Amino acid sequence: MTTRMAVLGAGSWGTAFAMILADAGSRVTLWARRPELVDAVNRTHTNPDYFPGIELPDGISATTDPAAAIAGAEFVVLAVPSQTLRANLAAWAPRIGPDTVLVSLMKGVELGTAKLMSEVIAEITGAGPNRIAVVSGPNLAPEIVRREPAAGVVACRDETVAERLQHACHTAYYRPYTNVDVVGCEVGGAVKNVIGLAVGIAEGMGLGDNTKASLITRGLAETARLGLAMGADPLSFAGLAGMGDLVATCSSPLSRNHTFGANLGRGMTVAETIAATRQTAEGVTSCRAVLDLARRHDIEMPIAQMVVDVVHDGKPPPLVVKELMSRSAKPERR
Ligand SMILES: NC(=O)c1ccc[n+]([C@@H]2O[C@H](COP(=O)([O-])OP(=O)(O)OC[C@H]3O[C@@H](n4cnc5c(N)ncnc54)[C@H](O)[C@@H]3O)[C@@H](O)[C@H]2O)c1
Ligand SMILES: O=P(O)(O)OC[C@H](O)CO
């Protein structure tokens, strides 16, 4: 029997992941807020707002009615901005069945609570860890919709559930690996956006590859420090949701976080950069929540601090670079 999937959120990654699921053989109902977009998906099999000219598989249909999308779905895939998930899910939760698996595509931390998306899902729906999964890894949506080969991670504390999801999103161009370390995969995904901003800032300032490689490597060190304090498996940070995603985000002009940082490094103001960014750059808000999380776990995250200083406290990039470089000397493993 064909598996039914709901993807709630028809932005960049929601649309690309719906394509993966449909290419892997499921029937996918994509929920979008705007009737014009729903109409375009159903009539023309395209999402003109995000991927003009890309033909979506026949297995995808769209609706503005979340209840219609959720009804009968084995997996409900959540693809909205991290900061709106709580409110969205509160409205959707009464429609979600007791056996449905909830899948987070999001890479952010909730501002105010410092909660990971899996924690918000558990809190709002009451779902246990065997019904909450996360997809992460180096998955720039514009490359995925061109069906360029990529690998990803599907994480769930229950390995059999992770394997079911793996099967549901395994295609000729998308190779998902299972992982039971949900926290590690989520921390990797959320913090890489913040490091992507930092690398973008450096690039925009005209700094070169030594600077960028140093930020990536020390960024991974601070990601792992936070993850370990939260109970993550250190090996996850050497994997696709850690190093893999960091490399993609920090090297690609397709990354919204990287581009946002580069605009700031070039001298654009935060307001100008926000105006120029049509899509979700999670690190911009999540950097403050990541720092909050670090404080709660008594962890130092100097690069995340530098990003907050620039993005939220208006410090000029050259000043934060100077501050970062004048920190006291220490052993590499601390
Ligand atoms: N784009 C990528 O390449 C990519 C890859 C992996 C993970 N992600 C993650 O996926 C998540 C979603 O990102 P995206 O790229 O799809 O962003 P996006 O900006 O392209 O799309 C977000 C979607 O959410 C909708 N939305 C915005 N505000 C909303 C609200 N208040 N209520 C309901 N819906 C709302 C938008 O209309 C849009 O359809 C982010 O956490 C991002 O980090 C993105
Ligand atoms: O465009 P970004 O910066 O949100 O990054 C997209 C994906 O997370 C890359 O894996």
- Cα–Cα–Cα angle for 4, 8, 9, nearest 5°? 135
Residue 122, C-beta contacts closer than 8 angstroms, at least 6 positions apart: 128, 129, 132
What does the alpha-carbon distance between residue 301 and residue 327 come to, in Å, rounded to a whole number? 12
User: What pLDDT does 241 receive?
Assistant: 98
Domains annotated for the chain, with CATH where assigned, are 4-180 (3.40.50.720), 183-325 (1.10.1040.10)
- Cα–Cα–Cα angle for 280, 284, 285, nearest 5°? 90
Going by the DSSP 8-state scheme, the letter that residue 331 receives in this structure is -
Q: What's the whole-model pTM score?
A: 0.98
Series of mean pLDDT values for 10-residue runs along the chain (334 residues): 94 98 98 98 97 97 98 97 98 97 98 98 98 98 98 98 98 98 98 98 98 98 98 98 98 97 96 90 97 98 98 96 96 85
Query: Is 315 considered catalytic here?
Result: no
Cα-based distances in Å from 82 to 104, 116, 156, 283, 284 = 10, 9, 19, 10, 11
Whether 92 has a binding-site annotation, put simply, is no
User: What pLDDT does 333 receive?
Assistant: 82
Q: How many CA atoms lie within 13 A of 48 on its CB side?
A: 11
User: What pLDDT does 70 receive?
Assistant: 98
Cα-based distances in Å from 77 to 5, 47, 201, 285 = 8, 18, 32, 22
Residue from 46, 44, 16, 53 nearest 173 by CA: 16
Whether 282 has a binding-site annotation, put simply, is yes
Residue 119, C-beta contacts closer than 8 angstroms, at least 6 positions apart: none
- What the block records as the tokens of 27 is 């029937």
**Which residue ranges have their beta carbon within 6 Å of ligand 2?**
107, 138-140, 193, 196, 245, 248-249, 255-258, 282
Residue 316, C-beta contacts closer than 8 angstroms, at least 6 positions apart: 310
Q: How far is the CA of 32 from the centre of ligand 2 (A)?
A: 20
User: What pLDDT does 172 receive?
Assistant: 98
Whether 53 has a binding-site annotation, put simply, is no
Interface pTM (ipTM) of the complex?
0.99
What does the alpha-carbon distance between residue 105 and residue 14 come to, in Å, rounded to a whole number? 8
Q: How far is the CA of 157 from the centre of ligand 1 (A)?
A: 24
User: What pLDDT does 280 receive?
Assistant: 86
Ligand 1 atom with minimal separation from the 142 CA: 3
Other beta carbons less than 10 A from residue 65's beta carbon: 12
Q: How far is the CA of 311 from the centre of ligand 1 (A)?
A: 20
User: What pLDDT does 187 receive?
Assistant: 98
What does the alpha-carbon distance between residue 93 and residue 113 come to, in Å, rounded to a whole number? 20
What region, left, alpha or beta, does residue 108 occupy, with left being phi > 0 and alpha being psi -120 to 50 degrees?
Answer: beta
